[in-house]
Amino acid sequence: MKETKQLEFKEDITNTFLKTVSAFSNYDGGDIIFGVDDEGHVRGLPDVKQSCLNIENKINDSISPQPNYTLKVQKNKTIKLTVKSGTHKPYLYKSKAFKRNDTATIEVDTLELSRLILEGKNIRFEELPSRNQDLTFHTLEHKLKENIRIENFNLDTLRTLNLYDGVKGYSNAAAILSDMNQFPGIDIIKFGENINIIQKRATYSNISILSAYEKTLEVFEDYYVYEEIQGAKREPMEKIPEAAFREAIANALIHRLWDVESQIRVMMFNHRIEIISPGGLPSGITKEEYLTGKISVLRNPILANVFYRLGIVEIFGTGIIRIKQIYEESAAKPDFEVSENTIKITLPLYEPDMNLSADEKQIYRLLSKTMLKPISEITPYVDFGKTKTSQLLKEMCDKGVIVREGRGRGTKYSLK
């Protein structure tokens, strides 16, 4: 057994476990097993009945408010303490709130504590009153009239969208949608053949996220959409599916943390686009649930509702599924990385199957995530050895699927 973010071992019963009780209560819950050392070796407890009383008394005397937990004595003389995520956050130990950072328990910072306080009151950041109440909404008005044919745009319209309250005024969600604001936006960089060549750099911030969204699409179309002459017609072609890019940008805007002074980063390469959004998964959803679309937890439901009404997104919580569906017939697939503080979506070039073998597809998908790779950086990530990898690379070069650059040890491969 090994410790994880949701599992901690304690050989003895000391007050240090109370920090983890706070952390589990404040976030996604977890288990603490007493009578097991840090290496996962079972040591047992001399008196499990008295130990249960000690654990219970320490929690009841030290954690405020009262957390939701259960104790279970196990056959090997260990005790399993299960702590559930609470609804009355923050849960404090010695007037401090804690969280899990991988297998360690650390105190939360001021910003994280304010989030816990809001969550305990069932209030989201987007619902708070905006500091700036002098707002205009020309972009939002234009989009609403264009997409849902409203005739009059006024405070009643904003009330209907939950952007305005007669007592509190405009909300943070309203400010984020307003023409000029103090919120971060989208930072775009387009690289050339390598990261030393920058073809474009643009930052769209302090403006309506609807404008930032449209400007980002314009940059995308400049580099990844082109026309191909077919007979007497010009047919639009896409190197990367625009529908997938639209979905990824919209998801980044409506699911990000807006109380962080950080831009959504869009890095454009010749063979892929990487979209990095501030803020990991919201509480109550796992990585598997996020990737499969089993559960949808909206971090910013007011913004999501506006995007839905404008037809920018379809059904809530289906963004990842739609991106995957768009790439169903492509040799390269989109990639999703979830960390504690970010979500990264990588969209590769859309390529038909090209009659690649299963082994060739492994190499193709690997190369779709980078610019150039030597064989030494390919072999560890495929299911076969260096000799077969080398042969497959040669065959794929002969097919015109990938290209080889350099000689000898300096040889590197990339998608054509």
What is the residue-level pLDDT of the chain in tens, covering all 416 positions?
A: 789 999 999 999 999 999 999 999 999 899 999 999 989 999 999 999 999 999 999 999 999 999 999 999 998 999 999 999 999 999 999 999 999 988 899 999 999 999 999 999 999 999 999 999 999 999 999 999 998 888 899 999 999 999 999 999 999 999 999 999 999 999 999 999 888 899 999 999 999 999 999 999 999 999 998 877 766 677 778 899 999 999 999 999 999 999 999 999 999 998 899 999 998 888 778 888 888 877 777 889 999 999 999 989 876 667 888 899 889 888 888 999 998 889 999 999 988 767 778 888 888 878 876 666 788 888 888 888 888 988 998 888 888 888 888 888 788 888 77
Cis peptide bond upstream of 90, omega within 30: yes
> Cα–Cα distance between 51 and 13 in angstroms, integer?
8
DSSP assignment of 359-389 equals HHHHHHHHHTTSS-B-GGGTGGGSSS-HHHH
Tell me which H or E stretch contains 145: helix 138-147
Give CA separation, 142 vs 133, 171, 263, in Å. Answer: 20, 20, 25
> Cα–Cα distance between 384 and 389 in angstroms, integer?
7
Are the CB atoms for 378 and 413 separated by under 8 Å?
A: yes
Tokens of 160: 């209907």
Are the CB atoms for 234 and 250 separated by under 8 Å?
A: no
Q: What is the pTM of this model?
A: 0.79
